[in-house]
Structure 1
């Protein structure tokens, strides 16, 4: 066996030989800023819709900066597709009354799923400060949302520890508070080794967290951009990733093939370890996420009329 072979095989088999298509997926988008970006987003939504995702979520900018665009995007998905739309909602710079109004507007629009997050300070590098009349953290936000309506609620988890947490134990304690407050599942920040996820899942179980933990997958095509994201959420970028993308700045097709290979291998290893639910950070592009789902055996399904 060549030195490269172990990366593409599991117990002597090709990595994707045993996939059964028995996975469930969800996709994350961000609200578009321009007409062109909106066109790209909706092309991606329509491409991924036939895969029958559990839900698709729409992010919420720091300090509520995309509040109107997030709401408009979520509402349009709910009205114009057969997808279950989930809206991100944060505690940042919002009173409890404002959050209740937003949540009730979502419920009235038919949105039944909220991704509840503490959120980051609007100004990079500044510490989070709760609104004087707002929720202090994501656990309080979850409890508040559950008191408003019986939303399905997802929360964030951090396999490599949130930057604001004192240590991994404190971070797990915070996750448990969110689950105990009523969250239905946790979706992890992105990571780049299967061991990272499996270790975190085991640690969460040992901490008494029984809720579903879904791995968040970020197919990387721009290492510099990913490094910026990683700095905000406590994820680490392996040195080998820089090497893989070196020299591909002016070769977008080759860069996309490399990105698909790296993310697909990670998902294949997670699948081999028993993972059947995946959440993809699409960055509003469908191709990489669609290709990985295809490799894992997922095929377009007819939606019921």
Structure 2
């Protein structure tokens, strides 16, 4: 008997990589392009496993629907799990697994792409040259070599980011709950958060979203940063208090802002709104600043990462189906 797996929020590239990675006829992969919500949750009927992405929010009500439909496992094809009510899952007897690491290089390299683009304004130069404008006014940047970069979060992605930055000749400061010896060998100097914010020319976020890190970047922490600081976020949108950041952009406290995530992105990202009026006024305000660069949660989007995500997700599901240990299980902690 086949095990049915219902995927939400799937795109053609998801289907291609999961079909390529699925070598087991015992798994029936059912792809839905719709997001998970109360109206679509009943579509999991007959599925033992549900596969979710970053903006599929599985709250207590949806978990209850899953349990009644016979779902036994939620397989997240992403690293973060803040979109799942773990307490409700534990009560319903539904396991949760994730992909803790796919390609840390994909996200780290994208963070560097944001830094370099904001600095050297290559996106603006590209448009100018296409219009026959070869003037250099307004395109001046700075040498990345010699800059102090503060990394908040020194997991796998943070460590790779540190390695790349050290290659550019940057001084790298780090802040994390745990100090990592590998990061220290890379040349990262661990300092308190307040010191990192005060000393860094560039601050880049690489930490998970938890109750403790929610709005980690707020009016108070922004006040402790250098004037004209560059702020980069390729992690989770809600690490940043967007309204506080907008005020700092207006005052000049933030000189450059690079985002691949946004705290209200669920209704925007991964869809094409090019022919529509965006209704999110806060997001539209961000787009109005000339020193802001936003990409649509694409830092993970490399062939290497998508292949790894598919393989790890299916391995997690195989372990569950076969009754083996769930190496990548997310356990609810009281």
TM-score, with structure 2 as normaliser = 0.30
Greater C-alpha radius of gyration: 2
Higher relative contact order (CA 8 A, sep 6+): 1
TM-score, with structure 1 as normaliser = 0.32
